């Protein structure tokens, strides 16, 4: 699919759909902005949480309206994503019989547009019809932005981890799971100084100060919503899952994301009492997952270098990113744009290993 070849669907009076990208919606891989787990993500789209999952095909009709076509041919969408990730063209043309529903709008923000059609816009909906899907507002902070921020930390693990030295956990190292340090700041997601130090004072939305060193390279932001497998198709601009068909054009009015504007970088400041209490609560809930398994997708395991695994776990008001051979980072609804590291300690390794054993994994 080049972005100029239409796929026939029942969208917009049988108009053609110009495919821009595709995203998997399965227990192991789904746009985390939709929910803490797979059933919650399906509910956000009005879908039944079938174990086989779905594929989401995002595109525009001939009038430029945004549409999300849900298909049950997961293998077809997975092959298309894998082909694009390898720099190959793939004609993603779902059979009409595989179409489950066509939803107006896009649930995630895209920075591409189909050529030769009007600019992307939401289609008009009639009385009783669902409103168009829209991505979360990047200027606000809530559960969706928190999960997107956790995804960004997972993608940029090395950049975040390198900003924390052993002294970041001074005074708490060796105390077990509670070894932690707060991370406060409102600059770029990885805009903190390379060496841990006191948080600089600046207003929300301001960039890094002049005293800060250049940003680490190849930074990606929360709205790209990538999995650790970093699936990407050639051409066009980055999409939330960085999974796109070639041939897209830059869309006007692209919004900056929480990671580009406000998400804080990790700092070696000691966690205060509120942070320590929140981290203890998160760790207790993670232990609870081992006793009573959570809904599918609450704990997901992805590839990491050196034989380790990247863990992503979510719960009510919190998100965790961890490497099974290293530490963990926590983001909280109650602490906007703060990222709190949890030191490895004597108990964290066994907890991460147990979570990895019960986590869902990409096929």
Note the pLDDT of residue 284.
Answer: 97
Q: Could you tell me which residue, 18 or 218, shows the higher pLDDT?
A: 18
pLDDT at residue number 126? 82
pTM: 0.72
Q: What is residue 167's predicted lDDT score, i.e. its pLDDT?
A: 59
Environment class of residue 305 by beta-carbon count within 10 Å: exposed (0-12), middle (13-18) or buried (19+)?
exposed
| Range of lowest pLDDT (11-20, 204-213, 307-316, 353-362) | 204-213
Question: Residue 286 is encoded by which pair of tokens?
Answer: 């993670």
Residue 313's pLDDT is 98
Report the distance separating Cα 18 and Cα 197, nearest Å.
49
Report the SS3 class of residue 237. Answer: coil
Torsion (CA) 7, 12, 15, 20 in degrees, nearest 10: -40
Q: How confident is the model at residue 349, as a pLDDT?
A: 96
Categorize the per-residue pLDDT at 169 as very low, low, confident or very high, splitting at 50, 70 and 90: low
| C-alpha–C-alpha distance, residues 18 and 288, integer Å | 45
How far from the centroid of its chain's Cα atoms is residue 133's Cα?
A: 17
Percent of the chain at pLDDT exceeding 70: 66
- pLDDT tens figures, 64-105: 999 999 999 999 999 999 999 999 999 898 888 999 999 999
pLDDT tier for residue 127 given thresholds of 50, 70 and 90: confident
pLDDT score for 363? 77
| Structure confidence at residue 168 (pLDDT) | 61
pLDDT at 273: 67
Report whether pLDDT(184) > 70: no
pLDDT average, residue stretch 251-261: 37
Is residue 103 packed enough to be buried (19+ CB in 10 Å), middle (13-18) or exposed (0-12)? buried
CA 289/CA 320 separation, integer angstroms: 13
Q: What is the mean pLDDT of the chain?
A: 75
Over residues 337-351, the pLDDT tens digits come to 999 999 998 999 999
Strand partners, 182: 269
In order of 27, 30, 92, 281, the CA distances from 362 in angstroms are 8, 10, 21, 28
Give phi and psi for 144, each to the nearest 5: -65, -45
pLDDT recorded at residue 125: 85
Give the pLDDT confidence score for residue 130 in this predicted structure: 86
Contact (Cβ atoms closer than 8 angstroms) between residue 216 and residue 189: no
Distance of alpha carbon 219 from alpha carbon 201, whole angstroms: 23
State mean pLDDT over 226-244.
39
Helices 273-291 + 348-358 axis angle, to 10: 40
pLDDT value of residue 272: 65
Kindly report which listed range (50-64, 132-146, 222-236) carries the lowest average pLDDT score: 222-236
């Amino acid at each position: 699919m080049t972005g100029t070849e239409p796929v026939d669907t029942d969208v917009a009076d049988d108009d053609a759909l110009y495919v821009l990208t595709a995203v998997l919606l399965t227990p192991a891989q789904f746009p985390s902005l939709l929910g803490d787990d797979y059933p919650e993500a399906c509910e956000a789209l009005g879908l039944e949480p079938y174990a086989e999952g779905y594929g989401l095909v995002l595109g525009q009709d001939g009038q430029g309206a945004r549409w999300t076509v849900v298909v049950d041919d997961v293998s077809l969408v997975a092959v298309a994503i894998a082909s694009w990730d390898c720099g190959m063209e793939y004609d993603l043309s779902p059979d009409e019989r595989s179409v489950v529903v066509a939803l107006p709008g896009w649930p995630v923000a895209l920075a591409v547009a189909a050529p030769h059609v009007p600019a992307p816009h939401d289609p008009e909906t009639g009385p009783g019809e669902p409103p168009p899907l829209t991505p979360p507002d990047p200027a606000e902070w809530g559960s969706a932005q928190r999960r997107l921020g956790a995804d960004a930390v997972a993608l940029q693990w090395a950049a975040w981890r390198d900003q924390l030295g052993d002294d970041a956990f001074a005074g708490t190292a060796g105390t077990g799971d509670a070894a932690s340090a707060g991370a406060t700041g409102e600059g770029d997601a990885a805009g903190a100084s390379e060496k841990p130090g006191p948080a600089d004072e600046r207003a929300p939305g301001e960039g890094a100060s002049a005293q800060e060193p250049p940003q680490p390279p190849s930074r990606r932001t929360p709205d790209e919503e990538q999995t650790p497998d970093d699936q990407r198709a050639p051409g066009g601009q980055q999409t939330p899952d960085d999974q796109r068909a070639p041939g897209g054009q830059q869309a006007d009015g692209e919004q900056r994301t929480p990671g580009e504007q406000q998400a804080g970088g990790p700092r070696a400041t000691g966690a205060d009492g509120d942070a320590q209490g929140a981290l203890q609560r998160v760790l207790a809930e993670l232990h609870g997952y081992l006793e009573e398994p959570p809904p599918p997708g609450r704990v997901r395991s992805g590839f990491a270098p050196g034989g380790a695994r990247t863990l992503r776990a979510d719960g009510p008001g919190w998100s965790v990113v961890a490497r099974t051979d290293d530490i963990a980072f926590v983001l909280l609804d109650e602490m906007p744009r703060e990222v709190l590291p949890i030191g490895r300690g004597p108990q964290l390794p066994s907890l991460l290993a147990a979570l990895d054993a019960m986590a869902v994994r990409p096929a």
